[in-house]
């Protein structure tokens, strides 16, 4: 039998200014040396295509990418990240950017970046590099022991994972084939039907023609009015038959 | 005869609900059961003419109970009554030879259903082109409706009931009623069209105004850039001087006193709205610029991101503009109350969808998202939160649109996703 040792987390740095590249690399190297983390710096380059080439030739399991936005090449850091994401879905991205190139929403919602580092603030640069290395390390090590249950929603080409314990209930929209999922901190719509959702998780229960409720997030049930109150105070209605079943389920 | 009366009343009820486009149970429905039916039966025992007048007064009361608006009620009453009477006359003419109530009821329901269907689709079309979903009724329309009701009622009483329903009169009357109905329809269609036109003209005016302001801002921006270029050249020249003379100390001092402040100044003067040039849809660009710029002017930190040129937004621009307007207005209203509020907006696209995100900082409050979306909710008192429920309506009438609302870590986020591909069918 062979022992499987978790591979080191690979760090990539891509920055077109040699001076700044050198600076970042030295911060990374020094920190790794001191802290002895399960990480290694595998590539530091001025050319974005080298990063892509590396990924073509080698299998990358867990990686942290520190990317500059303006790369002085045919692609910029955002496009590079887009391409890298296709090959390395789990990769964590951190953008090194000047204030004027800052695109906050793109980082957060389109690229799902881990963080960004403002390079205008040259004094805080080292501190920030260390912070993102730690954050990335925590994230990868935590995901190993994460036994949180997720429900995956497909929207367009994207798959979105939501924690089951954040889900309150699903509601069918007035428009056919659209479902609204109500979460602890908000709600969003996607294309599906409540009929299909019922069987996606044991905690989901079809309590009404147009509702599937997460049994674990019910605060109370009024048996006379058949009103279900969720943990956040939101109320939905239940059918007669389902209400009886639900009361039993919750009591167990 | 009682069955006919009840059948007519129920059809009348259906007509009213279709026109109101509201099929939910209402407390006012008890009125029909406990007041309207008994009263009608009683009046009918007394005299048919009285029953007809009573029939209308009762239903007018019923509509009034639902809408709480006398003008709207009169117009709806007129439309339903005209339809109802025409259906009644047609059914009467067609089944007179059989002399059977069952046949009459059958035909009456059939004809009424036909009218209701036509009505339903016509209204649906009107609602979809109309800028506002509320029924707006002018005084003139109310008067015309009142006159039509009176004429039709008098016609029925004078030429039918008093003369014991001669066949010829029934035929004449249905023709006259038909003409009245067509006249009313034509008038309301014309009004609808005119409303639509004024709405389009008004939004075009607004757009031109916004475009002009956009151009003006661009020019101002450009002038500042030119000035900056000038300063930049000067800086380079003076640096050249320090280097030529190997005055490193002087250069250091010059950098710290003259160049560094400019750099930090540049960061603060981030314009934030340059990416608007990549929004290829004029209406959308206009609303985004209009709202975000006014937010910027009132001291809110604003940014807008769009890295790819997007020209086709796949859904009705007008709907998208209204939806965005509501979202941005809410964001501005909230951030205005804060000392260092910010609004971040962005549009992203890939092969399958376009995403429009607006997020803003919020003050500390414990109100959950679902409460904010309830009609009429607002942290600022009554009747100001109509926006969010209007927003849901717009999203619901476009199959390709989905909406996300999140509130997390003192940030409020609204995201509209446009699914590409299957949208133009609506």
- Please indicate if any CB of chain B lies within 8 Å of the CB of A154: no
Same domain for A135 and A167, yes or no, is: no
CB contact, 8 Å: B176 with chain A? no
| Domain boundary, last residue among A89, A120, A144 | A144
B350 vs A contacts (CB less than 8 Å)? 156-157
What is the band of B269 on the pLDDT scale with cuts at 50, 70, 90?
low
Residues of chain A neighbouring B408 (CB-CB closer than 8 A): 185-186
Does B135 have pLDDT greater than 50?
A: yes
Q: CB neighbours of B347 closer than 8 A, spacing ≥ 6?
A: B279, B305, B306, B310, B354, B355, B356, B357
Assess whether A69 and A190 both reside in one domain.
no
- Taking only residues 219 to 238 of chain A, the set having a beta carbon closer than 8 angstroms to any beta carbon of chain B reads 232-234
- To the nearest whole angstrom, how far is the Cα of A179 from the nearest Cα of chain B? 10
In a domain, residue A1? The reply is no
C-alpha distance from B77 to closest chain A C-alpha (Å): 28
Q: Test B368 with A234 for CB contact under 8 angstroms.
A: yes
Query: Could you tell me if A200 and A242 lie in one domain?
Result: yes
Residue B333 · residue B340 · CB < 8 Å:
no
Q: Is residue A87 part of a domain?
A: yes
Q: Which of A105, A158, A190 sits opposite B344 (nearest CB)?
A: A105
The kind and range of the H/E element at A168 are: strand A167-172
Structure tokens at A117: 């580092």
- Inside any domain, residue A4: no
A173 φ, ψ (degrees, to nearest 5): -75, 165
Q: Are residues A33 and A137 located together in one domain of the fold?
A: yes
Distances (CA, A) of B254 to A222, B59, B241: 75, 86, 11
User: Is residue A233 situated within a structural domain?
Assistant: yes
Query: In terms of domains, do A129 and A156 share one?
Result: no
Q: Contact at 8 Å (CB) between B368 and A182? A: no
Is the pLDDT assigned to residue A169 strictly greater than 90?
yes
Residue range A220-234: average pLDDT?
Answer: 91
Does residue A3 belong to any structural domain of this protein?
no
Would residue A201 count as lying in a domain?
A: yes
What are the φ/ψ torsions at residue A172 (nearest 5 degrees)? -75, 135
Q: How far is CA B4 from CA B37, B45, B204, in A?
A: 12, 14, 53
Give the closest-approach CA distance of A86 to chain B in angstroms: 13
Q: Residue A1 above 50 pLDDT?
A: no
User: DSSP H helical segments within A98-251, as ranges?
Assistant: 104-105, 125-144, 194-197, 240-251
Instruction: State how far the alpha carbon of A178 is from the alpha carbons of A211, B324, B399, B407, in Å.
Output: 12, 21, 8, 22
* pLDDT tens for each residue of B137-151: 778 888 988 998 898
Same domain, A63 and A119: yes
Q: Do A100 and B270 touch (CB under 8 A)?
A: yes
Half-sphere exposure (Cβ direction) of B129: Cα atoms closer than 13 Å: 16
Query: What CATH number should be reported for the domain holding residue A212?
Result: 2.40.50.1020
- Total domain count for chain A? 2
CB-CB under 8 Å, A100 with B370: no
- What are the pLDDT digits (tens) for B306-346? 988 999 898 888 788 888 988 998 899 999 999 989 999 99
One domain, residues A100 and A183 = no
Residues of A in contact with B303 (CB under 8 A): 102, 104-105
Say whether residue B307 is in contact with chain A using an 8 A CB cutoff: yes
Cβ within 8 Å of B, A 158-187: 158, 173-175, 178, 182-183, 185-187
Spell out which residues of chain B touch residue A119, defining contact as CB-CB under 8 Å: none
Domain boundary among A121, A144, A167: A144
Residues of chain A numbered 54-93 and touching chain B (CB < 8 Å)? 78
Nearest C-alpha neighbor of A94 from the set A137, A31, A141? A137
Do residues A116 and A45 share a domain? yes
Predicted complex ipTM exceeds 0.90: no
Mean pLDDT of B281-293: 86
Find the CB nearest A186 among B307, B369, B397.
Answer: B369
Which residues span the domain enclosing A196?
150-251
CATH number of the domain encompassing residue A20: 3.40.50.2300
**pLDDT tens digits along A104-127:** 888 888 888 888 888 877 778 899
Kindly determine whether residue B408 and residue A189, on different chains, have CB atoms separated by under 8 Å.
Answer: no
Q: Which parts of B245-357 fold into alpha helices (H)?
A: 248-254, 260-268, 282-297, 317-336
**Closest residue in B to A105 (Cα–Cα):** B346
Hey, is A213 helix, strand or coil? strand
**Structure tokens, B352:** 């399958």
pLDDT at B55 over 60: yes
Query: What are the tokens at B185?
Result: 């329809």
Report the share of chain B in percent with pLDDT over 70.
90
Q: Say if A27 falls within a structural domain.
A: yes
Out of A90, A117, A144, pick the residue that ends a domain. Answer: A144
- Whether residue A120 sits in one domain with residue A237: no
The reply to whether A63 and A188 lie within a common domain is no
| Residues A122 and A52 occupy one common structural domain | yes
Give the pLDDT confidence score for residue B134 in this predicted structure: 55
Strands A63-68 and A9-14, sheet pairing: parallel
CA A19/CA A25 separation, integer angstroms: 10
Give chain B's domains with CATH numbers: 2-202 (no CATH), 271-426 (3.30.565.10)
**Residues A222 and A97 grouped into a single domain:** no
Does B351 contact A157 at a Cβ distance shorter than 8 Å?
Answer: yes
Identify whether A167 is part of a domain: yes
Interchain CB contacts (distance < 8 Å): A and B: 95
Contacts of A186 in chain B (CB under 8 A): 369, 404-408, 413
């Amino acid at each position: 039998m062979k022992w499987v040792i978790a591979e080191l987390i690979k760090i990539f740095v891509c920055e077109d200014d040699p001076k700044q590249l050198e600076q970042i690399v030295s911060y990374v190297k020094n920190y790794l040396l001191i802290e002895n983390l399960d990480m290694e710096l595998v590539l530091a380059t001025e050319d974005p295509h080298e990063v892509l080439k590396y990924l073509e030739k080698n299998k990358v399991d867990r990686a942290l990418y520190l990317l500059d936005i303006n790369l002085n090449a045919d692609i910029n850091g955002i496009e590079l990240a887009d391409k890298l994401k296709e090959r390395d879905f789990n990769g964590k991205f951190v953008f090194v950017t000047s204030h004027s190139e800052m695109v906050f929403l793109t980082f957060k919602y389109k690229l799902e970046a881990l963080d960004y580092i403002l390079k205008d603030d040259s004094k805080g640069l080292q501190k920030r590099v260390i912070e993102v290395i730690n954050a990335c390390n925590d994230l990868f090590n935590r995901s190993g022991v994460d036994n949180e249950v997720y429900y995956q929603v497909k929207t367009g080409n994207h798959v979105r994972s939501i924690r089951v314990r954040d889900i309150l209930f699903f509601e069918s929209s007035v428009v056919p084939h659209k479902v609204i999922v109500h979460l602890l901190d908000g709600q969003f719509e996607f294309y599906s039907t409540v009929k299909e959702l019922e069987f996606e998780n044991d905690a989901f229960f079809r309590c009404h023609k147009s509702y599937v409720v997460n049994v674990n997030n019910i605060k109370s049930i009024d048996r006379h009015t058949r009103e279900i109150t969720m943990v956040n105070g939101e109320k939905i209605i239940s059918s007669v038959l389902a209400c009886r079943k639900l009361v039993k389920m919750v009591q167990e | 005869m009682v069955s006919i009366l009840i059948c007519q009343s129920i059809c009348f009820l259906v007509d009213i609900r279709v026109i109101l486009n509201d099929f939910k149970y209402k407390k006012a429905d008890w009125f029909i059961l406990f007041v309207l039916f008994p009263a009608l039966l009683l009046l009918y025992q007394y005299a048919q003419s009285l029953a007809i007048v009573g029939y209308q007064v009762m239903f007018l009361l019923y509509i009034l109970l639902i809408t709480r608006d006398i003008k709207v009620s009169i117009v709806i009453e007129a439309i339903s009554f005209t339809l109802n009477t025409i259906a009644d006359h047609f059914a009467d003419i067609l089944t007179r030879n059989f002399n059977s109530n069952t046949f009459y009821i059958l035909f009456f329901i059939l004809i009424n259903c036909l009218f209701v269907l036509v009505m339903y689709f016509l209204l649906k079309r009107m609602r979809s082109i109309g800028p506002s979903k509320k029924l707006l009724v002018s005084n003139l329309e109310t008067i015309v409706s009142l006159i039509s009701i009176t004429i039709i009622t008098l016609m029925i009483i004078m030429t039918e009931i008093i003369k014991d329903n001669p066949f010829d009169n029934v035929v004449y009357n249905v023709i006259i009623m038909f003409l009245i109905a067509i006249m009313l329809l034509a008038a309301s269609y014309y009004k609808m069209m005119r409303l639509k036109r004024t709405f389009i003209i008004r939004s075009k005016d607004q757009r031109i105004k916004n475009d002009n302001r956009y151009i003006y801002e661009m020019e101002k921006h450009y002038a500042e850039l030119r000035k900056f270029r000038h300063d930049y050249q000067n800086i380079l020249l003076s640096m050249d001087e320090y280097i030529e003379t190997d005055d490193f100390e002087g250069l250091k001092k010059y950098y710290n006193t003259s160049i560094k402040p400019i750099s930090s100044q540049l960061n603060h003067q981030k314009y934030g709205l340059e990416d608007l040039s990549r929004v290829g849809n004029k209406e959308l660009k206009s609303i985004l610029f209009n709202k975000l710029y006014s937010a910027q002017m009132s001291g809110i930190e604003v940014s807008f991101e769009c890295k790819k040129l997007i020209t086709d937004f796949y859904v009705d621009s007008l709907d998208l503009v209204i939806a965005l307007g509501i979202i941005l207005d809410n964001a501005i209203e909230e951030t205005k109350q804060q000392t260092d509020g910010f609004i971040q907006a962005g549009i992203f696209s890939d092969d399958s969808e376009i995403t429009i995100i607006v997020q803003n900082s919020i003050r500390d409050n414990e109100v959950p998202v679902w409460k904010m979306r309830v009609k009429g909710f607002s942290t600022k008192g009554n009747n100001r939160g109509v926006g969010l429920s209007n927003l849901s309506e717009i999203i619901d009438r476009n199959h390709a649109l989905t909406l996300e609302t999140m509130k997390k870590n003192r940030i409020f986020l609204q995201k509209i996703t446009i699914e590409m591909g299957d949208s133009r069918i609506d």
